[in-house]
């Protein structure tokens, strides 16, 4: 029986050697590909550079309807139950141009673009704003409602990309015509004795 088991061992080793020789090359591992960059990380970094911490991205994408990526960064209250309107203290609308983020619109006490103050910005300055977004065929309209001390006439200021001048501008109350930007703000002074402006 000893002879028979030795023959079986040789036969088994021969069979294993034949199988090993027939086997193809071991599978090669593919080289690691760099991971796709996460755009939200880049957007958050741009938001923090513009507004500081804490800030959050409220909207991102082609907000102007002009084919470029823009982000709307805000500092404000956490998302409320309504969801459609947010109370904010500051906002910056940024656009990526040649690997750099440029600020196109800022909301702090006033609404400003690269040319000055937006047409309907209140001269006294807002302590905060409520912000609502409306998406349409001409891009996103940002509705800023100033929260002013002692005033209850809270009318929203619609702001949208003006393709004719290539910047964000305020619209009239009907949302049809763009208002001219102002280089400076001057508060309206009343002559209380005469009731004249």
pTM across the whole model? 0.73
| Domain assignment of residue 153, yes or no | yes
| Domain assignment of residue 184, yes or no | no
Number of domains within the chain: 1
| Domain assignment of residue 20, yes or no | no
pLDDT tens for each residue of the chain, 197 residues long: 555 566 666 666 665 565 555 555 555 666 666 666 788 889 999 999 999 989 999 999 999 988 899 999 999 887 764 557 889 999 999 999 888 999 999 999 999 999 999 998 888 889 899 999 998 887 899 999 998 876 766 789 999 999 999 999 999 988 889 999 998 876 544 444 444 44
Buried b (16+ CB within 10 A) or exposed e, 132-165: eeeeeeebbbbbbbbebeeeeeeebbbbbbbeee
| Domain assignment of residue 23, yes or no | no
Q: Which domain holds residue 159?
A: 39-170
| Domain assignment of residue 163, yes or no | yes
| Domain assignment of residue 157, yes or no | yes
| Domain assignment of residue 162, yes or no | yes
| Domain assignment of residue 103, yes or no | yes
């Amino acid at each position: 029986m000893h002879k028979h088991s030795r023959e079986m061992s040789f036969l088994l080793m021969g069979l294993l050697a034949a199988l090993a020789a027939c086997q193809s090359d071991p599978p090669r591992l593919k080289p690691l590909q760099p991971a796709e960059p996460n755009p939200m990380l880049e957007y958050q970094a741009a938001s923090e550079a513009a507004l500081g911490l804490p800030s959050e991205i409220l909207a991102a994408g082609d907000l102007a309807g002009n084919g470029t990526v823009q982000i709307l960064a805000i500092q404000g209250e956490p998302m409320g139950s309504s969801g459609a309107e947010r109370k904010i203290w500051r906002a910056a609308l940024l656009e990526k141009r040649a690997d750099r983020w440029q600020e196109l619109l800022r909301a702090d006490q006033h609404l400003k673009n690269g040319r000055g103050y937006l047409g309907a910005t209140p001269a006294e300055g807002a302590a905060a704003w409520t912000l609502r977004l409306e998406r349409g065929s001409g891009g996103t309209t940002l509705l800023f409602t100033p929260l002013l001390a002692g005033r209850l006439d809270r009318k929203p200021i619609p702001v949208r990309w003006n393709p004719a001048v290539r910047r964000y501008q305020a619209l009239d109350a009907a949302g049809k015509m763009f208002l001219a930007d102002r280089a400076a703000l001057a508060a309206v002074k009343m002559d209380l004795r005469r009731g004249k402006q």
